[in-house]
A = this chain, B = another copy of it.
């Protein structure tokens, strides 16, 4: 049963349900039934970049893994570590973020990496995990070849790219970070790029309108996000301008890379308070909490922090586990938050930071076990035998999500959709 003691989390994330089980129109009275949770309504997300080679058969099976198994050809990576990582991933998360950085997705104009991404998205959806694409427009890692175009042509190329990719993946990817970090986009001055050029010329809001219109038209049913790392009043002002301009945003993306230290509850709550004012769902799109030394506070652009080695430490891992639990529990207690995406399952990703749930050697850290003990522990209903009363009813408290109920060799699924007290009829 849902056993979190925080009344706010319980009030926001759990339902007290009375199930009435019937079979052939008759209540299944005084019988044992087995109820098991199948999924969370809450989106526990993580990046899935490292599974692209696996999903595309670019790794060789582990030695002895099948007929003719053995060492792969020189340069081919062994699939075993990634498969083990995938098991850990799939046991904890229920939604994946895949990379659509334009400069990597389409380094040569007209030759997008569609097929490999499609295979990867399918790999996830076949395992029950919906996929979000990230991002469709951003000034960082944008396509180099944009620099040869006029501003008008860049806008057209950006719109075409969005239409093409959102269309190509519709049904497989129905959630997109449409545009990333617009607050600094027109004043970004580290290097020339196509997006800063057009954002500066058009203004932030007209560019947002242009890219959202393109994505919306290509997949009207998709969930479209505006995403930023700027948690200051600047992002508030941008959001207010976008909403006043009548642009529909389905969810607000808040990044929360904490390479410089866990925000703490007070800062997190203040941010939630400010960004929930718009009545929009909030997705924490990019969360990182490191299990090693913290990045010095004076660094403003995290990319400026280059270190040779950034190891995970035992003390750091204990701290990370504690902070992960606090962070997730703070966010789940707030009704506006619908998703948390963790940025990098394993260490050694962005900046070489020890930000993962899994060490470089593939072993899970305490943070993995800690989060799993919530997602698949306190907030989860494992297969549980309950006995119906004389009218075929059983009562349970469960996290919002998908369930299966079995009795007498038959089974049915049901959902708990809204928090609070609810009644559900389960027809076997």
Contacts and interface: CB of A to CB of B under 8 A. Distances in A.
A267 to B, nearest CB: 13
Nearest to A273: B187
Interface in A164-210: 183-184, 186-187, 200, 203-206
A245 interface: yes
A104 interface: no
A184 B233 contact: yes
A244 interface: yes
A96 B352 CA distance: 57
Contacts of A234: 232-234, 236-237
Tell me whether chain A's interface is mostly helix, strand or loop, or mixed.
helix
A204 B235 CA distance: 13
Interface string A231-268: 01111111011111100000000000000000000000
A244 B203 contact: yes
Interface residues of A, number: 25
Given A230-B233, A237-B183, A238-B237, A205 B277 contact: no
Give the most central of A184, A200, A206, A240: most B CB within 10 Å. A240
A274 interface: yes
Contact of A245 (B187, B200, B244): B244
B203 A240 contact: yes
B233 A183 contact: yes
A232 B238 CA distance: 12
A240 B277 contact: no
A395 B28 CA distance: 106
Q: How many of these chains are in the complex?
A: 2
A235 B232 CA distance: 11
Contacts of A245: 241, 244-245
Contacts of A236: 186-187, 204, 234
Contacts of A187: 233, 236, 274
Given A232-B232, A244-B245, A245-B244, A204 B237 contact: yes
Chain B CB count within 10 A is highest, among A237, A238, A243, A245, for A237
Contacts of A184: 233
Given A234-B233, A236-B187, A205 B241 contact: yes
A17 to B, nearest CB: 36
A241 B186 CA distance: 15
Pick the most buried of A183, A234, A277: most chain B CB atoms within 10 A of its CB: A234
A190 to B, nearest CB: 14
A200 B244 contact: no
A222 B212 CA distance: 38
Interface of A: 183-184, 186-187, 200, 203-206, 230, 232-238, 240-245, 274, 277
13 contacts: A183-B233, A183-B237, A187-B236, A200-B277, A204-B237, A205-B240, A205-B244, A206-B244, A232-B234, A234-B237, A237-B237, A240-B241, A241-B242
